[in-house]
Structure 1
Amino acid sequence: MKLLILLFLALSLGANAQQADSVTYLANIKQELTIQWPKNRTINLVFHGHSVPAGFWHDHEVHTLESYPNLLLAKLKKQYPYAVINVIVTAIGGENAIKGQTRFEQDVLVHKPDVLFIDYALNDRFSDIGKVKEAWSSMIQSALAHNIPVILLTPSPDQRLNILDAQNPLEPHVQQIHQLAEQYHIGLADPYPRFKQIAKRGELTNYMSHVNHPNKAGHEIIADEILKWFTK
């Protein structure tokens, strides 16, 4: 009987596991973004990850204003003209989630995010996927313990990989990110399928500034996927 009860509970938890609802998940934040001075406050959007959110392009150039955190800011300001929004990028080029987790409290939580975005998959493929999951889970749990909504990002492409091949090294991480969003009932911004569609058309180079760094057009795709969570 005890075994049956445990099985029932496991199945129930599995059935309830799903990503957050994009309409309701950030409802409080979206409402705050509409408030006018003097009753409004600064909303902090924190982007934690590797070189892509940091804005790296080719030849180590950093195109901050053409990277998706700031492109998102421009899009949000069109929707929310009265909002005061801080875009805070804690990303470091070359870093993976395992390293990013170690500095999470001192570099991320200190900014008191109103929404946290995590983008590490592109670099995580070089590390043990189990340890990567532990790092993502630790950051998610820490954020949720502070009542911070979290949106996970699937990766942008690396042109050295065939992202149309289901066996490419990014695929397990993409699936794991989906699973984490479902497990913790948090947000998911999913540009990866968009980039796969572009790759099918043979147009991927038009969206890349470098072998593994998007150009502005590529960053626009990522920003548009995040923007869905802020639509009124």
Structure 2
Amino acid sequence: MKTTIKLFVVALAALSLFAMKPNRKRVIFFGDSITQAGVQGNGYINLLKKQVDTNKFELIGAGIGGNKVYDLYLRLEEDVLAKKPDLVFIYVGINDVWHKLGARTGTDYPKYIKFYQALIDKIRANGSKLVLCTPSVIGEKKANANELDGELDKYAEGIRELAAKNNIPLCDLRKAFTAYEEKNNAQDLEKGVLTSDKVHLNEKGNQFVAEQMVSFIK
């Protein structure tokens, strides 16, 4: 009888501890190589982990190099929906524009918007909240001097419209990056300010993206 009581007390204590342990909110960052690098070294996701309470938040990177919006759609179920996230950051669009050069495998604007809306619909139906991120830069020169600035601005504006239409918070990286370049790129460099190669983030770029995103988590 005493053994049974002891076992009951131990089990009750274990259940109490489990009940007291806070349920962590799961946040997934869904994107391309910029997001893939976000969980490496001082990548922006790793930096965010240092800025939020990891007892309350679990941050997960779901980025794959070269991905475009339809690649995200194809792997949405396995990489996002199955994990039941509380919040999803969608950060995609650089390759959809950038890959129009060279191999010419970019994504036409109407198709981009259609797939993006489909992502929104499926993630919301899964019970998750969203933050939409505009694509940052393909070249860091100021005053629309980069070859793809016009296209990138068009796609960024499309995301702004989707955010407004669907009443979703917007992390406007495109606007933040261009404003930063205007103030801090005195030599009008095409890379080396926030990126290492005109696209992928350097250490300062990762810090900058983390700064833009942290308030949406907290």
The answer as to 2:166 corresponding to 1:184 is yes
State the one-letter code of the partner of 1:86.
E
Can you give the 5+ residue segments of structure 2 that lack an aligned partner in the other structure?
1-17, 98-105
Q: Does the alignment pair 1:222 with 2:204?
A: no
Mapping of 1:52-201 within 5 angstroms?
52-55=34-37, 64-77=40-53, 83-125=55-97, 126-159=106-139, 162=141, 164-165=143-144, 168-201=150-183
* Structure 1 residue identity aligned to 2:72: G
CA RMSD of aligned residues (A): 2.3
Identity percentage of aligned residues: 25
Q: Which moved further from structure 2: 68-77 or 92-101?
A: 68-77
Higher relative contact order (CA 8 A, sep 6+): 1
- The one-character-per-residue Cα deviations of 1:187-207 (angstroms, maximum 9, x if unpaired) are 111122221123224256222
Secondary structure of 1:66's counterpart equals: coil
Q: Which amino acid aligns with 1:70?
A: N
Aligned to 1:24: none
**Larger deviation, residues 194-203 vs 66-75:** 194-203
Shift of 1:37: 7.4
Residue of 44, 64, 83 corresponding to 2:26: 44
- What is the CA distance between 1:120 and its match in structure 2? 0.7
Query: Partners in 2 of 1:222 and 1:121 — Cα distance?
Result: 16
Matched length: 185
Amino acid at match of 1:165: N
TM-score normalised by the chain length of structure 1: 0.72
> How far off is 1:54 after superposition?
0.9
**CA shift at 1:152, angstroms?**
0.8
1:53-84, CA deviations, whole angstroms, 9 ceiling, x for partnerless residues? 1117xxxxxx613222221121113xxx6x24
List per-residue Cα deviations over 1:125-172 (Å, max 9, x = no partner): 12111111111111110111122100011122222x756329522001
Largest Rg, 1 or 2: 2
- Which amino acid in structure 2 is aligned with residue 198 of structure 1? Y
Distance 2:180 2:56 in 1: 34
